[in-house]
Amino acid sequence: MIEETLLDAMEKMAKACDHVQAQFLGVRTGRANASLVERIPVEYYGATVPLQQLATFQVPEARMLIVKPHDRGSIAAIEKAIQSSDLGVSPGNDGVVIRLSFPMLTEERRKEYVKVVKNMAEDGRIALR
């Protein structure tokens, strides 16, 4: 009985930690990273799909991310989803790929990210309790 309760608690704690780590990956740093955009929901043929299912990602430079859709017909939907997200980047569409150029982080934006990460960490601590 005690062992089952302990195993159940450990499993829930591991899931909570994994969730917080996944959230941390979505926080922008000074470098472009595919995890920043892969979970963006895209409206595609009447269904909402995560971007990672519609495209592949490349990082040719530290502050540039290239999104290459599997289907060229989805470029407009992907571009619209990226623009409506809260990334602070504007996508450049050349008909084949979408280029995202990430600007340098300002001091104000860094402080905002620190607050967001602290809130994520606190939510994770609460979930562990």
What is the tens place of the pLDDT at every residue in 45-78? 989 999 999 999 999 988 899 999 999 989 999 9
Q: Which domain holds residue 113?
A: 14-29+105-129
Q: Are residues 55 and 87 in the same domain?
A: yes
- CA 66 centroid distance within chain: 15
CA distances from 16 to 7, 12, 24, 114 (A): 14, 6, 12, 20
Q: In the predicted model, what is the mean pLDDT of the chain?
A: 85
Number of structural domains in the chain: 2
- If asked whether residues 36 and 99 sit together in one domain, one would say yes
Q: Say if CB 87 and CB 37 are below 8 A apart.
A: yes
- Asked if 37 and 67 sit in the same domain, the reply is yes
Residue 51 tokens, joined: 């971007």
121 & 85 share domain: no
Determine, yes or no, domain membership for 80: yes
The answer on pLDDT for 106 being more than 70 is yes
Q: What is the pLDDT of residues 76-91, one digit of tens each?
A: 999 999 999 877 788 9
User: Do 63 and 124 belong to one domain?
Assistant: no
Best mean pLDDT range from 1-10, 25-34, 63-72: 63-72
Are 23 and 65 in the same domain? Answer: no
Are 58 and 69 in a shared domain?
A: yes
Main-chain dihedrals φ then ψ at residue 88, nearest 5 degrees: 80, 20
Q: State the burial class of residue 32 (Cβ atoms within 10 Å of its Cβ: 0-12, 13-18, 19+).
A: buried
The answer to whether residue 4 sits within a structural domain is: no
Supply the CATH number for residue 62's domain. Answer: 3.30.1360.40
Is the domain of 39 the same as that of 86? yes
64 found inside a domain? yes
pLDDT at site 29: 64
Identify whether 7 is part of a domain. Answer: no
Question: Is 52 a member of any domain?
Answer: yes
